[in-house]
Structure 1
């Protein structure tokens, strides 16, 4: 009754979007989004993609495994299993899991993530020996009616510090080389994101594919902080950055908000984030979503102070196949989490 076959492109993108939207409707995707993400994949990293067909129903589940391009480790693989809710508890996920393991080359560690309000995913993972090793906090804010006046002092403070904030679109129009400087700044800031892994630097070309060339990236909604007195050989005058991507369902996702260490404590990160929120509000679209990691409690508190509301977290589960142990995530380590 279950037939597993390779994922066919582009014809399977439409059914894949339908399955993903049935599982996680609050994070909708389109076939076009899936096609773009597929085209942006770095071919030097292994991946294996499959679907399951169920008798009389066609494609009802997806399975994929791949090396981690953001935090590469030999033998480490991300796994994804998505079974349409109408076809769960029929052995489809179990069959796909076994099939995926057969495709991997010398696997040492398996990793999967899912929302904490999907208990069936957690049961499936724990039954197979996976352990929770990380949590990412999601928060959301509706910009309609948001009052910016109480934060006017932040813009004044930025000016008094001799700093400037400009949209990325404005900077790119003036100087195409800004993209390379932003790439270097983004890498510096990214290494300070405390996600419990060691990041792998992408090539500039790969970064462009996944960031600025993504059709959902809106340069007008992304803002950069500059210090005109700074002339760094890699980042130039760029000292901070906040990015936004627009989901076709009319909500926005913050990708990065950060400033260089020597420029922190000046309200710059909040000022950058507020600029993006103002853009969203001015363009008649409301919700902004963001993620924070437990060690970065100050950033989470900043978001909550702006009015962001906590949502169910994203959980990362892992399983070692090399005899090692996964260190369980300890919520108590992080103040107020």
Structure 2
């Protein structure tokens, strides 16, 4: 049996569905749909030089890769590659071939430092370390049983705070872009970015096929959005928090917990059965909020980096 690697064909539905299926099996804590896979490939900023690869064995997709440059970082040469293989098709050479293909492509595009997320399991860590990658920080995946769990009551907004949704900004989402940019600048991470491109944000984030504008909840003070919890949904049963953040001047007032709790209550009322989120293991305030909401850790991933010669 021969494994080959090729580009994902976004115009072939069966190809995209197979890619999303493998990603779901390998990483069930993240929402993967064919529409989201195509959106990432087609609408990512051109300077990212984004490519998606599949590893194929006898016509079956058994591995996937998403790769690109970190174009909005002040430090040039940084790039990412995230490789996932069908859990029942490991040790057939797919992962190694995907890594080599991705590294060759990124090096040709000028990359000098490669970042990858790896599930925190012995075989996966050994795979990364055996290829010259060094361990950095880690992050947890968390799950909440919306259907059978018990959400804490929704607290009343503090005086002067109004709850809205992203749908209220359909005519002009720029205020949400500004808030997103401010909070993203303070997120724990290995790569510094300059989040200033509004048009790219519209294409990649605001128009993302999984972003649920009705469930994305915003706290507003004096007409200005100051906290938000961004909700992704698969349109069926699964809900995921993509980002929760508060403007610097309004932190420490419980607004992050307020908007996330409100969004979860709306999601449960809309029929969603389970909720997912993710946190850097060093983000103690957000981990505490999620614990109070009933989330439980269901997986951990580790960030690895490799310097190219």
TM superposition score category, shorter chain reference: 0.7 to 0.9
SS in 2 for 1:225: strand
**Is the alpha carbon distance of 1:69 and 1:286 closer, same or farther for their aligned partners in structure 2, counting shifts above 3 Å?**
farther
SS in 1 for 2:98: helix
Picking from 124, 130, 135, the partner of 1:132 is: 135
Match of 2:86 in 1: 84
Aligned counterparts of 1:87 and 1:237: Cα–Cα separation in 2: 50
Q: What's the CA shift string for 1:182-233, capped at 9, x where partnerless? A: 11111011111122331231521111122221121111111211222xxxxx
SS in 1 for 2:263: helix
Aligned counterparts of 2:166 and 2:4: Cα–Cα separation in 1: 48
Aligned counterparts of 1:308 and 1:50: Cα–Cα separation in 2: 33
SS in 2 for 1:214: coil
Q: What's the CA shift string for 1:284-307, capped at 9, x where partnerless? A: 213222222233212211211222
SS in 1 for 2:46: coil
SS in 1 for 2:39: helix
Contact 1:20 1:28 in 2 (8 A): no
Runs of 4+ in 1 over 6 A off after TM superposition: none
How many residues are matched?
303
Contact 1:2 1:92 in 2 (8 A): yes
- Structure 1 gap segments, 5+ residues each: 229-235, 323-337
- Match runs of 1:47-58 below 5 Å: 47-54=50-57, 56-58=58-60
Match of 1:3 in 2: 4
State TM-score, norm by structure 1. 0.81
Picking from 94, 112, 117, the partner of 2:116 is: 112
- Match runs of 1:261-300 below 5 Å: 261-300=248-287
Aligned counterparts of 2:72 and 2:131: Cα–Cα separation in 1: 25
- Structure 2 gap segments, 5+ residues each: none
Picking from 95, 98, 103, the partner of 1:93 is: 95
SS in 1 for 2:256: helix
State TM-score, norm by structure 2. 0.88
- Match runs of 1:120-269 below 5 Å: 120-144=123-147, 146-149=150-153, 151-152=154-155, 155=156, 158-159=158-159, 162-169=160-167, 171-172=168-169, 176-177=171-172, 179-228=173-222, 237-248=224-235, 250-269=237-256
**Is the alpha carbon distance of 1:5 and 1:269 closer, same or farther for their aligned partners in structure 2, counting shifts above 3 Å?**
closer
What is the CA RMSD across the aligned residues, in angstroms? 2.4
Q: What's the CA shift string for 1:232-267, capped at 9, x where partnerless? A: xxxx62211111110245221112222222222222
Q: Which moved more, 1:270-279 or 1:21-30?
A: 21-30
Aligned counterparts of 2:30 and 2:251: Cα–Cα separation in 1: 32
Does the alignment pair 1:43 with 2:41?
no
**Is the alpha carbon distance of 1:91 and 1:282 closer, same or farther for their aligned partners in structure 2, counting shifts above 3 Å?**
closer
Q: What's the CA shift string for 1:62-112, capped at 9, x where partnerless? A: 344311256564222212333333432233332332233322224311111
Q: Which has the larger radius of gyration?
A: 1
Aligned counterparts of 1:203 and 1:41: Cα–Cα separation in 2: 12
**Is the alpha carbon distance of 1:91 and 1:220 closer, same or farther for their aligned partners in structure 2, counting shifts above 3 Å?**
closer
